[in-house]
Amino acid sequence: MKFFADTAEIAEIRELAETGLLDGVTTNPTLVHKSGRDFIETIREIAAICPGPVSAEVVALDHDGMMREADILRAIAPNITIKVPLTSAGLKACRALTDGGTMVNVTLCFSAAQALIAAKAGATFISPFVGRHDDVGFNGMDLIADIRMIYDNYDFATQILVASVRHPMHVVEAAKLGADVMTAPPKIIHQLYKHPLTDNGIASFLKDWEATGQKIG
Ligand code: G3P
């Protein structure tokens, strides 16, 4: 499973990249707003830090506008992935962009039908939002299972990128279902390795080690 960081904060991305655990980055207009920084400059910096796919979202709602914005964004670096919404214009832009060799992340997916049509449009990634699905009383993981089955039935190459991840169990459940990628805020990626029994174990081993009076080296 690939790990993407869902953030536009450069320091967080740099820290994760140094761990060797970072396979890509996703951003959206809300995350850019939170960062308070210039969009293009931020995407350029992220793409230089992370060699994997870096999603940058268009904001135009019409096909021509999306293509114009995509041209500007994809010129930033070869690893830019254009993020388009799951609309008719977004799917048309997806087809045109992927046919031209640009990676596309189709975002705001909330149904298996939407995921099916995004795959038919040639999407590189489909982003089902599991947390927002849970928020309105549906099980986001049921959606991931349905998409996995549909994509496997037809050997679609579109990668399932689980988004709107809110806690470590979303990541574990998505991995059990065979999702290709998950994108999460860095805080959740760090929560994946934290465990109180690990901390307790380290403390008791250190105490006993000190009692031996020995040193390594
Ligand atoms: O990648 C999409 C993600 O940023 C949405 O997350 O927590 O705003 O639903 P959230």
Domain boundaries, given as residue ranges, for the chain: 2-212
Question: Confidence band (pLDDT; 50, 70, 90) for 122?
Answer: very high
User: Helix, strand, coil proportions of the chain in percent (round to 5)?
Assistant: 55, 20, 30
Q: Is the pTM of this model over 0.75?
A: yes
Beta carbons within 8 Å of 206's beta carbon, 6+ residues apart: none
Question: Confidence band (pLDDT; 50, 70, 90) for 101?
Answer: very high
The predicted structure's pLDDT at residue 145: 98
107-121 exposure pattern, b = at least 16 Cβ within 10 A, e = fewer: bbbbebebbbbbbeb
Residue 66: helix, strand or coil by DSSP?
Answer: helix
Catalytic-residue membership of 83: yes
Q: Which of 83, 176, 207, 215 is catalytic?
A: 83
**Closest protein CA for atom 8 of ligand 1:** 164
d(C-alpha 135, C-alpha 138), whole Å: 7
**Closest protein CA for atom 4 of ligand 1:** 164
The predicted structure's pLDDT at residue 72: 98
Atom of ligand 1 at shortest range from CA of 31: 4
Question: Confidence band (pLDDT; 50, 70, 90) for 164?
Answer: very high
The predicted structure's pLDDT at residue 53: 98
The chain-wide mean pLDDT, for the chain, equals: 98
Cα(197) to ligand 1 centroid in Å equals: 30
Q: Percentage of the chain surpassing pLDDT 90?
A: 100
The predicted structure's pLDDT at residue 3: 98
The predicted structure's pLDDT at residue 192: 96
Best residue for ligand 1 mutational test, from 3, 6, 133, 182 (most atoms within 8 Å of Cβ) = 6
The predicted structure's pLDDT at residue 140: 97
Considering only the top CATH level, what class is 2-212?
Answer: alpha beta
* Pocket lined around ligand 1, Cβ cut-off 6 Å: 6, 26, 28, 129, 131-132, 163-164, 183
The predicted structure's pLDDT at residue 152: 98
How many angstroms separate the Cα of 46 from the Cα of each of 27, 32, 50, 56, 98? 10, 12, 6, 10, 22
